[in-house]
Amino acid sequence: MRSDVLARISTDDLIHNFNALRSRCAAGVRMCVPLKANAYGHGIKTVAPALYRAGAHCAAVATLSEAVELREIGWDRPILVLGHVLAVADAAERRERLAAAARHRLALTIADEGALEALGRLDTAGPIDVHVKVDSGMGRMGAPPEEAVALFDKADSIRQVRVAGIYSHFATADLEAPELAQAQLATFRNVLRAAAHRLSKGVIRHLANSAATITLPESHFDMVRPGLALYGYAPSRHMLELINLRPVLRLVSHVSLVKILPPGHCVGYGKTFTTARKTRLGIVPVGYADGFVRALSNAAIVGTRRGDAPVVGRVSMDQLAIDLTDIGEISPGDEVVLIDNRPDRPNSVQAIADRLGTIPYEVTCLLGPRIDRVSTGNSCAEPS
């Protein structure tokens, strides 16, 4: 049996985006594909094989469990774990994590000497790859620039460690104001110069996210890590004319019940909507447990074969209601498009993000585990 909610993923459009981003880079620049958070909600089991076939050099995830899942579905290329996963108090848990990193050949992010010391206590036949992360100005994960060279020196003294990369992350590359991004780029370059005696030919330097991949070629170095843009969403509106991206996700369900309510009838919890007329109501088996969040109550639009319908009443955990009164005949089983892959639609990812006062990342990452992610193979450029 399939789920009542389907995320149709166009792998053709995904590969189109991959190639469009790769074309922004010079020859030889590698592509690292971020697959964390279940491929930004799109489904790692659907997305990863397509990007593998497209030629992605490596994948980036946030946690060890994500990395292990990626290995289990057949990804045999490098995997970089972005999270600081060795910073746990329990020694047994830390040993288990180290063993998993060694067993699955994972590259770990290092931002302080404590993680290196933990690696130094690991009894392993071969070294574990690490990438030193530098805080170039974002103020989040990463070693201060003045401590980065010392981390390289420390890593070189530990036989269980092989430095495979050095990287940082932009805070504002998606903004039109370039000051902080340029300052971060300069800081990262300064660290590279200071650590030049430790940067052997095989050490990968990487900094560019989606926005920098599109607009800052001087930040590409050896590898880029475009995340959101892979899935078809521009990091900022001013980049829409710079690159042709195609949203790959189309989220659909169906009408499970059609009923008539008289005027003055409540719809949903809290009596936030009361019918003002005789109303033909459709029930859709999707709710906030699936990522169609409660904040969309009385605020969202969904698509049907007869036209758009508003969501009325509060979105429940497993159901929502739509007003079918002003559109043509709709029957149980008819498809409902919850998130449209066409950017100009009122239920596109960007339109939903705007309505919620958030960003596209959050809209797709909230899509829940009950949703079946299925590959359409073909382009979703036109409605199916």
CATH number of 71's domain: 3.20.20.10
Q: What is the pLDDT of residue 384?
A: 37
**Helix (H/G/I), strand (E/B), else coil: 365:** helix
Is residue 278 annotated as a catalytic residue, yes or no? no
Q: At what angle do helices 44-54 and 64-72 cross, to 10 degrees?
A: 70
Look at phi and psi of residue 179 and say left if phi exceeds 0, alpha if psi is from -120 to 50, else beta. Answer: alpha
DSSP string, 94-161: HHHHHHHHHHTT-EEEE-SHHHHHHHHT---SSPEEEEEEB-SSS-SSSB-HHHHHHHHHHHHT-TTE
DSSP output for 44-72:
HHHHHHHHHHHT--EEEESSHHHHHHHHH
Annotated catalytic residue: which of 52, 231, 269, 288? 269
Total number of domains in the chain: 2
Q: How confident is the model over 309-328, as a mean pLDDT? A: 97
> Given this model, what pLDDT does residue 191 score?
96
Same domain, 346 and 213: no
**Whether 151 and 268 share a structural domain:** no
CA dist 315 and 212 (Å) reads 37
Residue 238 domain flag: no
Q: Are residues 259 and 193 in the same domain?
A: no
Same domain? For 185 and 325 the reply is: no
| pLDDT for the residue numbered 378 | 62
344 and 291 share one domain: yes
pLDDT tens for 361-378 read: 999 999 999 999 999 976
In a domain, 85, yes or no: yes
* Percent of residues, the chain, with pLDDT higher than 70: 98
Q: What is the pLDDT of residue 1?
A: 84
Residues 210 and 180 placed together within one structural domain of the fold: yes
Q: Are residues 214 and 282 in the same domain?
A: no
Q: How far apart are CA 286 and CA 280, in angstroms?
A: 19
Question: Do residues 188 and 325 share a domain?
Answer: no
Residue-number span of the structural domain to which 300 is assigned: 249-375
Determine the angle formed by the axes of helices 11-22 and 44-54, rounding to 10 degrees: 50
The DSSP call for residue 172 is S
CA triplet 298, 265, 273: central angle to 5 degrees? 15
Of 185, 204, 231, the residue at which a domain comes to its end is 231
Q: Are residues 73 and 208 in the same domain?
A: yes
Among 36, 133, 167, 233, the active-site one is: 36
Give the separation between CA 226 and CA 258, rounded to whole angstroms: 43
One domain for residues 150 and 210: yes
Q: What is the pLDDT of residue 120?
A: 86
**pLDDT the model gives residue 299:** 97
Res 197 pLDDT > 80: yes
- The sign of the CA dihedral 74, 78, 79, 85 is positive
Least Cα distance to 116 among 148, 161, 51 occurs for 161
170 within domain boundaries:
yes
> Phi, psi (5° rounding) for residue 37?
55, 45
No. of helices (H) and no. of strands (E), the chain: 11, 17
Which tokens is 245 given? 């991206």
Lowest-confidence segment of 129-143, 152-166, 302-316 by average pLDDT: 152-166
For residues 241, 242, 246, 251, the Cα torsion angle rounded to the nearest 10 degrees is -70
Does 348 score more than 90 pLDDT? Answer: yes
Please check whether residue 364 lies inside any domain of the structure.
yes
33 and 173 housed in the same domain = yes
CATH classification of the domain holding 294? 2.40.37.10
Domain shared by 341 and 216, yes or no: no
> Quick check: is 292 in a domain?
yes
pTM above 0.85, yes or no: yes
Q: How far is CA 218 from CA 24, 28, 185, 209, 238, in A?
A: 11, 14, 9, 12, 19
pLDDT 10s digits, 98-151: 999 999 999 999 999 988 988 888 777 679 999 999 999 999 999 999 999 999
Q: Which of 197, 231, 265 is the last residue of a domain?
A: 231
Cα torsion 97, 41, 79, 160 to 10°: value is -20
**195 in a domain, yes or no?**
yes
What are all long-range contacts of 348-357, with beta carbons under 8 Å and residues at least 24 apart? 348/247, 349/233, 349/247, 349/249, 350/233, 352/296, 352/300, 355/296, 355/299, 355/300, 356/293, 356/295, 356/296
Give the Å distances, CA to CA, from 179 to 174, 175, 211, 309, 316.
12, 10, 15, 44, 44
> Residue 139: which region, alpha, beta or left (left: phi > 0; alpha: psi -120 to 50)?
left
Alpha-carbon gap, residue 178 to 7, rounded angstroms? 36
Residue 361 falls in the annotated catalytic set: no
Q: Which residue, 231, 264, 294, sits at the end of a domain?
A: 231
In one-letter notation, the amino acid at residue 214 is I
**Within a domain: residue 299?**
yes
| Residue 99 covered by a domain | yes
Mean pLDDT across the stretch 144-165?
91
CB under 8 Å to 139, separation ≥6 — which residues?
A: 171
Closest CA to 167 of 153, 181, 185: 185
